[in-house]
Amino acid sequence: MKTRSLSDRVRHALMFEAIGLMIIIPASAALFNKPMTHMGVVGIGSATIATVWNFTFNIGFDRCMRKMYGHIRKSFKARLLHTVLFEAGLLLILLPLIAWYLNMTLLDTLVLDLAIVVFYLVYNFVFNVAYDRFFPVMANSRPQVVSNLGEAS
């Protein structure tokens, strides 16, 4: 079975966050006319809070599902609800903090957040396509780096 190793998943997560922040911090600083250091704090702080919220929310959601349905298998509707509730909760947590830190109105902060969400939707797709190209899953479960010529090394 072709699966990714734990070390590959760690590399994926760290690369995803690092590259994303290297793009979004200067871009959002320029777009919203804010100091890059401020946007760096917002970016790193938001990523950290989102990670903690993700962990906490998923535990709570699974407990609710287990209590209500006796299992944690998620139908399409349950996954949709999971996604909407997660994002709504994250927005409620981050919006006032970012508005306060950047001295922005809640509406301006919502626009900033929506711009970042759109960026990450596109970035997530592009990053994962590129990651799968450069670090393909091999049958032996050990991903290999692919050179520019397409040969595994």
Q: What is the pLDDT of residues 41-88, one digit of tens each?
A: 999 999 999 989 988 998 999 999 999 999 888 899 998 999 889 989
Is the distance from CB of 55 to CB of 61 less than 8 angstroms? no
Residue 92 lies in a domain: yes
pTM, two decimal places:
0.73
Domain that holds residue 35: 6-115
Task: Give the tens place of pLDDT for each residue, 3-18.
Answer: 788 899 889 989 998 9
**Count of structural domains, the chain:** 1
- Residue 91 and residue 83: Cα distance in Å, rounded? 12
Cα separation, 39 vs 24, whole angstroms: 9
Q: Which residue type sits at 151?
A: E
Residue 25 contacts residue 35 (beta carbons within 8 Å): no
